[in-house]
Amino acid sequence: MLPRFPLVQGPTPLQPLPRLSRLLGGPSLWVKRDDLTGLATGGNKTRKLEFLVADALNKGADILVTAGSLQSNHACQTAAAAARAGLECRLLLWNMSGTADPTHLNNGNVLLNRLYGAGMQELSGVGATSEIAYLNAEMERAVVQLLGAGRKPYGIPVGASNALGALGYVICAAELVEQARERGLKIDCIVLKSGSAGTHAGLVAGLASANARIPVLGIGGGKSPANLEAAVFRVAEEAAGLLGMPRGVVQRSDVVATDPDPVGYGELTKPVAEAIGLVARTEGILLDPVYTGRAMVGLLHLIRSGRFRSDENVVFLHTGGTGSLFGYAQDFQ
At 125, which CATH number?
3.40.50.1100
Write down which residue in 127, 160, 193 finishes a domain: 160
Residue whose C-alpha is closest to residue 206's, from 239, 251, 253: 239
Q: Domain containing 76: what range?
A: 45-160
Of residues 263 and 61, more confidence is placed in 61
Helix axes 225-242, 163-183, angle to 10 degrees: 90
82 and 29 assigned to the same domain: no
Q: If you count DSSP H runs as helices and E runs as strands, how many of each does the chain have, helices first?
A: 11, 10
Of residues 200 and 98, more confidence is placed in 200
Q: Please say if the pLDDT value at position 261 is more than 80.
A: no
Lowest mean pLDDT among 62-66, 117-121, 260-264: 260-264
Q: Per the domain annotation, does 3 fall within a domain? A: no
Q: Please say if the pLDDT value at position 260 is more than 60.
A: yes
* Residue-level pLDDT at 315: 98
> What is the number of structural domains in the chain?
2
Q: Per the domain annotation, does 1 fall within a domain? A: no
User: What are the helix (H) ranges across the chain?
Assistant: 18-24, 45-58, 73-85, 102-106, 109-115, 131-148, 163-183, 198-209, 225-242, 270-283, 292-304
Q: Per the domain annotation, does 197 fall within a domain? A: yes
Q: Per the domain annotation, does 96 fall within a domain? A: yes
Band of the pLDDT at 266, cuts 50, 70, 90?
low
Band of the pLDDT at 259, cuts 50, 70, 90?
confident
Q: Please say if the pLDDT value at position 184 is more than 70.
A: yes
* Residue-level pLDDT at 262: 60
Residue whose C-alpha is closest to residue 46's, from 321, 327, 325: 321
114 and 186 assigned to the same domain: no
Q: Please say if the pLDDT value at position 27 is more than 90.
A: yes
The residues annotated as belonging to the active site are 72
Write down which residue in 101, 131, 160 finishes a domain: 160
Band of the pLDDT at 98, cuts 50, 70, 90?
confident
- Cβ distance 131 to 13 under 8 Å? no
Strand partners, 313: 28
For 188-231, write each residue's pLDDT tens digit. 999 999 988 899 999 999 999 999 989 999 998 766 888 899 99
* Residue-level pLDDT at 290: 86
Q: Per the domain annotation, does 4 fall within a domain? A: no
Band of the pLDDT at 10, cuts 50, 70, 90?
confident
Q: Per the domain annotation, does 2 fall within a domain? A: no
* Residue-level pLDDT at 333: 74
Write down which residue in 160, 179, 208 finishes a domain: 160
d(CA 194, CA 198): 8
What average pLDDT does this structure show over 42-66? 98
Across 18-22, 93-97, 262-266, the highest mean pLDDT is recorded for 18-22
For residue 97, what are the contacts with CB-CB under 8 A and spacing of at least 6?
104, 264, 266, 267
177 and 279 assigned to the same domain: yes
Lowest mean pLDDT among 8-17, 44-53, 229-238, 266-275: 266-275
